[in-house]
């Protein structure tokens, strides 16, 4: 039926998305091939596990066909759902395993005049028990420079000296090799406090790392 005016721009969901963005996921996924040809549209999705999933019951790969820049009357719409493809159950549960699925579908089954230049597909792995999306990706081209990260553990009150925080990881998700410099902002710490990165070379005030596309540091 569509969203109401209070949620149509997605603002109420922004805080939820931001709260989950630094969370680790056991799932790595990518769209490895797709076609928007009216003669035989399809999308191929590759899912790889970076951690074990104890119980994969109720985990599904879901694919959505979306159109951008759709003119209806005098109004232009974006992110219009054109089709939701039949879901496929996740069948892998051990780190390193890969599941590849190809979804074929019928072009413009309702005769709505889809524009192949404005089409894209969105895919996700979702757990039905709590509706959590473990990972997602889409068919849009990657940016040349982009990164993602996760940080394990909860925010805590530091009451010991020193306090070791849990692991974090940085990923280069762009098309080009990039160099990242990680520096702590300590301006708001008490005068006699300090923070550092614990590395293979010992404690460091900053870390500089060069990552190829799709790469993350071997250690963090």
List, for residues 65-95, the tens digit of each pLDDT value: 999 998 888 988 888 999 999 999 999 999 9
Q: Which residues contact 51 (CB under 8 A, 6 or more apart)?
A: 24, 26, 95
pTM over the 0.95 mark? no
pLDDT confidence of residue 218: 60
User: Is the pLDDT at 108 greater than 50, yes or no?
Assistant: yes
* Residue 123: closest CA among 7, 27, 193: 27
3-state percent breakdown (helix, strand, coil) of the chain, nearest 5: 5, 40, 55
The pLDDT score that the predictor gives to residue 92 is 98
* Fold adopted by 11-138: Immunoglobulin-like (2.60.40)
As a whole number of angstroms, the distance between CA 75 and CA 175 comes to 35
Spatial distance between the Cα atoms of 67 and 108, rounded to a whole number of angstroms: 11
Percentage of the chain with pLDDT > 90? 55
Q: In this predicted model, what pLDDT tens digit does every residue of 8-49 receive, in sequence order?
A: 778 888 888 888 878 889 999 999 999 999 999 999 999 999
For the chain, what are the domain ranges? Answer: 11-138, 147-211
Of 60, 108, 64, 61, the closest CA to residue 85 belongs to 64
- Please give the pLDDT value at position 21: 78
What confidence tens digit (pLDDT) does each residue in 144-180 have? 999 988 888 777 888 778 888 888 888 898 999 999 9
pLDDT of residue 135: 94
């Amino acid at each position: 039926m569509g969203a109401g005016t209070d949620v149509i721009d997605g603002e109420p969901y922004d805080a939820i998305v931001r709260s989950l963005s630094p969370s680790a996921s056991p799932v790595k996924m990518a769209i490895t091939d797709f076609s928007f040809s009216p003669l035989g549209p399809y999308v191929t999705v590759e899912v790889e596990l970076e951690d074990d999933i104890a119980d994969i019951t109720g985990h599904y790969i879901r694919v959505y066909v979306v159109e951008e820049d759709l003119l209806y009357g005098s109004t232009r719409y974006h992110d219009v759902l054109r089709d939701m493809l039949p879901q496929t159950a996740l069948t892998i549960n051990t780190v390193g395993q890969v599941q590849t699925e190809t979804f074929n579908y019928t072009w413009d089954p309702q005769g709505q005049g889809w524009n192949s230049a404005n089409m894209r597909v969105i895919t996700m792995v979702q757990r039905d028990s709590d509706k959590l999306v473990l990972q997602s990706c889409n068919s849009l081209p990657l940016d040349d420079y982009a990164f993602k990260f996760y940080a394990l553990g909860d925010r805590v009150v530091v009451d010991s000296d020193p306090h070791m925080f849990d692991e974090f990881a940085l990923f280069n998700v762009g098309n080009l090799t990039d160099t990242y410099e990680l520096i702590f902002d300590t301006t708001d710490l008490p005068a006699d406090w300090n923070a550092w990165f614990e590395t293979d070379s010992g404690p460091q005030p900053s870390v500089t790392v060069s990552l190829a596309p799709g790469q993350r540091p071997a250690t963090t």
